[in-house]
Amino acid sequence: MKVLNFGSLNLDYVYQVESILIPGETQAAKNRNTFCGGKGLNQSIALAKAGIPVYHAGMIGDGGEILLETCKENGVNTEFISKIPGPCGHTVIQVDKNAQNCILLFGGANRSITREFVDSVLSSFEKGDLLLLQNEVNELDYIIDAAYEKGMRIILNPSPYDSALEACDLSKVSLFLVNEIEGFQITGEKEPEKILSRIKELYPNAGIVLTLGGDGSVYQDETGIYHQGIYKVKAVDTTAAGDTFTGYFISSIIDGMPVQEGLALAAKASAIAVSRPGATASIPLREEVLSCGL
């Protein structure tokens, strides 16, 4: 079974600020760093660091070579990453003194995916292979339909949630990884229990991981419901914590770990990511997660 992640690659321009800016405010940043990120790239790197061979498909633009290098350095297969002229996907991220962030996303090359490109990537995959998706590239509905047609197993992290997801046939998804806000956007429900039961009604064959911030996470599938708390650490930057959780939890499924152990592994990995600055740079290696003492 091969694992393909079709997703974004971003340059993250991260500004350290006293407090997240309010409309009309000007504030001097204390520091600026450029990190490799993008929900797609972060999740590919989390999978690779967790020990899972992964192919990343996507597009980079001008200045995006460092994203390609980061993939290679971390063992992500880059055969399906194309470089095109024009702006690279990038973000402007503010991180405040409490490690809270806000993210302004510019899609750039991530929004230049063509159906021909999708077909050409998917021609290297087959029934039973796993496809991971987020919502930072265009043609998401087409990718889902084409992969489903081939018999690939589709895992979706519908983040950030927007109208593009309404065009997608979510009944083709085997596993959702959502936070409470995305859970509300998909189901119209706010209470975690109601989100879970509505997902079960809407997509009876799909599993779901619902992350609940400080309250941990819940996984539901046909075998039952499993809860996991968070591991408390001193937070430095929460960017990519969710992506780390996603990559590690999927790695646990691929490795055939019991659900409860997989949730704990993912929670530990994401706690370590929160304690460090940056996106891909903050994601720990599997050995570190296993020996971290959390």
Task: Give residues in contact with ligand RIB (CB under 6 A).
Answer: 8, 10, 12, 37-39, 42, 91, 103, 105, 136, 239-240, 242-243, 279
Pick the closer one to ligand RIB by CB: 92 or 257. Answer: 92
Closest approach of Cβ 279 to ligand RIB, in Å?
Answer: 4
Indicate the DSSP class of residue 53: -
Pick the closer one to ligand RIB by CB: 125 or 176. Answer: 176
Pick the closer one to ligand RIB by CB: 109 or 152. Answer: 109
d(CA 184, CA 289): 31
Chain centroid offset of residue 8 CA: 9
Closest approach of Cβ 41 to ligand RIB, in Å?
Answer: 7
Pick the closer one to ligand RIB by CB: 122 or 250. Answer: 250
Let me know how long the chain is: 294
Q: Rounded to 5 degrees, what are φ and ψ at 98? A: -95, 10
Task: At 54, list the tokens.
Answer: 């992964």
Q: In angstroms, what is the C-alpha Rg of the chain?
A: 18
Closest approach of Cβ 283 to ligand RIB, in Å?
Answer: 11
β pairing state of 3-6 and 217-221: unpaired
d(CA 197, CA 116): 38
Pick the closer one to ligand RIB by CB: 6 or 203. Answer: 6
* Residue whose Cβ sits closest to ligand RIB: 37
Pick the closer one to ligand RIB by CB: 197 or 238. Answer: 238
Closest approach of Cβ 262 to ligand RIB, in Å?
Answer: 20
Question: In a 3-state reduction of DSSP, which class is residue 52?
Answer: coil
Indicate the DSSP class of residue 293: -
Match 């619902």 to its residue by tokens: 210
Closest approach of Cβ 136 to ligand RIB, in Å?
Answer: 6
Closest approach of Cβ 102 to ligand RIB, in Å?
Answer: 11
Closest approach of Cβ 237 to ligand RIB, in Å?
Answer: 10
Task: At 225, list the tokens.
Answer: 């419901």
DSSP output for 134-177? -SSSS-HHHHHHHHHHHT-EEEE---S--GGGGGS-GGG-SEEE
60 closest CA partner among 89, 103, 17: 89
Pick the closer one to ligand RIB by CB: 12 or 182. Answer: 12
Closest approach of Cβ 16 to ligand RIB, in Å?
Answer: 16
Pick the closer one to ligand RIB by CB: 42 or 220. Answer: 42
Give the C-alpha distances (Å, rounded to integers) separating 74 from 83, 182, 292, 294: 19, 29, 20, 24
